[in-house]
Amino acid sequence: MIKHRDECIGCHSEIGCVGSTCLHRNVPYTVCDHCGEEAVVYSFSEEDVQLCEKCMELELDAEWKQLSFNDKCNYFGVKEIDI
């Protein structure tokens, strides 16, 4: 998921604060929907679940294990050899 944080750098009084238009305010960052860690996230499924690499690997492993042998073969284009 995308969250925002204030990364105010405390501009000098001579410059003055530009408020909500400052690039250091409302800075977006991504968080894994599963573990909550700040990370690069990847979208998964129609529900738009956003997972970090570690959590996505676990999710993909679980999904892969649910596939039948034929589905796995179809995914890679594996064909039965007729003799």
Per-residue 3-state assignment (H helix, E strand, C coil) for 4-71: EECCCCCCCCCCCCCHHHCCCCCEEEEECCCCCCECCCEEECCCCEEECHHHHHHHHHHHHHHCCHHH
- Looking at residue 47, what is its pLDDT? 76
What is the spatial distance between Cα 52 and Cα 47, in angstroms, rounded to a whole number?
Answer: 16
Whether the Cβ atoms of residue 36 and residue 29 lie closer than 8 Å to each other: no
Q: pLDDT by residue for the chain (83 residues), tens digit each?
A: 999 999 988 888 787 888 888 888 899 999 999 999 999 999 977 778 899 999 999 999 999 999 999 999 998 999 989 98
Which residue ranges make up each domain of the chain? 2-76
Q: Which residues, including other chains, have CB under 8 Å from residue 81's CB and lie 6 or more apart? A: none
